[in-house]
């Protein structure tokens, strides 16, 4: 839950590099992100920009 809230805030402030860093760090800690976060991560990797909101 807290990962989702953190990434939501970073998305709102358009902090792409921090968003990617926190997502990657969560994977290293063994956290499995929600599907919406996984889709959003894929979008960022493919388009090199943040979407308007999480992708569901």
Using pLDDT thresholds of 50, 70 and 90, give the confidence band for residue 56.
Answer: confident
CA 32 to CA 50: how far, in whole Å? Answer: 20
The answer to whether 26 and 43 are in contact (CB under 8 A) is no
pLDDT in tens, 19-38: 999 999 999 999 999 999 99
Say what the pLDDT of residue 1 is.
75
- Rounded Cα gap, residues 47 and 27, in angstroms: 21
**Cβ atoms of residues 16 and 49 within 8 Å:** yes
Mean pLDDT computed over 29-49: 97
Q: What is the mean pLDDT of residues 36-55?
A: 96
Q: Say yes or no to pLDDT of 53 above 80.
A: yes
Q: Map out the domains of the chain as residue ranges.
A: 2-47
pTM of the complete model = 0.92
């Amino acid at each position: 839950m807290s990962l989702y809230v953190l990434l939501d805030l970073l998305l709102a402030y358009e902090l792409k590099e921090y968003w990617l860093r926190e997502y990657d760090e969560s994977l290293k800690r063994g956290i499995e992100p929600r599907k919406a976060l996984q889709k959003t991560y894929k979008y960022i990797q493919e388009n090199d920009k943040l979407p308007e909101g999480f992708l569901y």
